[in-house]
Amino acid sequence: MKLLSINKGLRSFPRFLAATGTAFLVLGCAVNLQSQKSPSNQVTVTASAADYAAAAAARNVKVHLRPANTPIGRKTGAAAISNSPAGAVIQNTAPDSGGPRFPADLQFHGGKVVVSMQQHAIYMNPNGACSIAGCWGDPEGFLSDLGKSDFIHVVDQYTGSSADNRYTVGTRAMINYKPNAVPFTDADMLAVVHAVASALGEPGGYGHQYHVFLPPGQDECFNLGYKVCYSPDDPKTFFFCAYHGSADFSDIGHVLYSVEPFQDNYGCSSRPGTPNGQLADSTNNVLSHEVFETITDPDGTAYWNSLDNGIYGEEIGDECSFLLFTSTAVYFDPSDVTLNGKSYVAQPEYNNAQHACTTSP
């Protein structure tokens, strides 16, 4: 089934998400790959013409992209390649007390935050070629340990809750597809998310997030008036590593999602020598970034920096995405963290209470 034949409606998508090209997808039977938890928590999903039509008709699509560690990514701010902060108005700006100013503190813009949620992993598997461990590491294990950690409680000050075990791991979806050279678009990702959410009984709203993991070699592009891509094979368009977003579907309502391309490459990888290996911890580091930003700013209307201070539009993770420059390469430089008794690396997150980037409340 050629996606092109069922995807004509995508031309009516908002201009910031106009397709730059359409991938030739055959979303068929999922293969039973190496499992990291019970098969009862895994579903087989086939995206249909109806899912692509739902994606074409989606409204209020908001995306916030994490700039890649590439020459073009380093000189492009998050706000320049995202639409999520647009139109937000500060609701609770404190009056000047005459005391110290902390220009990196996040401002609240009156929107929703995510007090608790279940997270669902969606693995896009080209012709069944990827094992989870071989292509991504153990994202679900990382999410589970993050949700049980002290680190996740950095978000308590933004969500108003301090309860434990609020961010858990739900159902996994495996999707086999036939790749080709044309990049995915966000419309493709929305169709996949719609298919999985529908298969799970339409669990949308702010209590669920869908993480779509792309395999090595799979590009994705936006048309934001210029070509903005995850494209390790084309450095001139390699702007972003991952993003989180939200959308309103007419049938299943509001949905939160993230798109997690393959991270172990020169533009997105973490430094070498991490506890779980560069492939797994590069995945974990960027996934952590998107989870924290989803919790504190799911729709671009909650917590982000709206001061004219050089970091306008940056969210809780953007302000703390540090780099390590070596004689041969530049890497993301996350912190060593212990999550639920296990060693990982993950970048710190901005903590308004401490006016600093931290990995603990």
pLDDT of res. 46: 82
Q: What is the pLDDT of residues 170-212, one digit of tens each?
A: 999 999 888 888 999 999 999 999 999 999 998 889 999 999 9
Q: Which residues of the chain fall below pLDDT 70?
A: 1-39, 86-99
Each residue's pLDDT tens digit, 107-152: 999 999 999 999 999 999 998 899 999 999 999 999 999 999 999 9
Is 121 in contact with 139 (CB distance < 8 Å)? yes
What pLDDT shows up at residue 96?
Answer: 54
Between helix 49-56 and helix 186-199 the angle, nearest 10°, is 120
pLDDT at 2: 28
Say how far apart CA 186 and CA 220 lie, in whole Å: 8
pTM, whole model, 2 decimals?
0.88
pLDDT at res. 32:
36
CB 133 within 8 A of CB 34: yes
For residues 261 and 265, give the distance between their C-alpha atoms in angstroms, rounded to a whole number: 10
Phi-psi region of 127 (alpha: psi -120 to 50; beta: other; left: phi over 0): left
The pLDDT assigned to 315 comes to 96
pLDDT recorded at residue 307: 85
DSSP for 128-148, please give it: T---HHHHT--HHHHHHHHHT
- Helix 278-296 to helix 139-147 angle (10° resolution) is 50
- How is the chain split into domains, by residue range? 3-83+104-358
Give pLDDT, residue 100.
Answer: 72
